[in-house]
Amino acid sequence: MDDNAWPPLEPWRVGIHGKCPRCGQGKLFDGFLKLAPRCDVCRLDYSFADPADGPAFFVICFACVPSVLFAVWMEVTFEPSVWWHVFVSLPLVLLTCILPLRPLKGWLVASQFYFKAEEGKLDRPGSKTAD
């Protein structure tokens, strides 16, 4: 079925919930971060998707770094015991690093579908484009 037959769905709505970017119903993931081969409802092939390291980059920049800085600040300012870091700092860092990965990956894959992203191609001088 042609992609134009489906209504366009906003990437952030379907992606963060791990749903198919075309129909919004099927599963996007086959595991925690592994993409399914295709949608189980509309049969969209997910081979177009390549979020690469995007989710990890965003999580590191906007979640991991602040949580690690918080733990370092606590250590320098209050010098808490090692147990404080075991029961507060470590879980905080792990939660802020792991939990956002799946929604971010789903959003990036859905955005690739929505905006029809594909590998860039260079035009050579003198070549004709098929516009």
Is residue 128 in a domain? no
Residue scoring higher pLDDT (3 or 51) = 51
Is residue 59 in a domain? yes
* pLDDT greater than 90 at residue 1: no
Is residue 109 in a domain? yes
Task: Report the chain's mean pLDDT, rounded to a whole number.
Answer: 91
* pLDDT greater than 70 at residue 38: yes
Residue numbers of the domain that contains 100: 3-114
Is residue 11 in a domain? yes
Is residue 131 in a domain? no
Which of 33, 38, 98 shows the shortest CA–CA distance to 25? 38
Is residue 120 in a domain? no
Residue scoring higher pLDDT (109 or 124) = 109
* Structural domains of the chain, count: 1
Is residue 92 in a domain? yes
Is residue 124 in a domain? no
pTM of the model: 0.84
Q: What is the pLDDT of residue 128?
A: 66
**pLDDT band (50, 70, 90) for residue 118:** confident
**10 vs 5, 15, 24, 103, 115, CA distance in Å?**
16, 8, 10, 14, 10
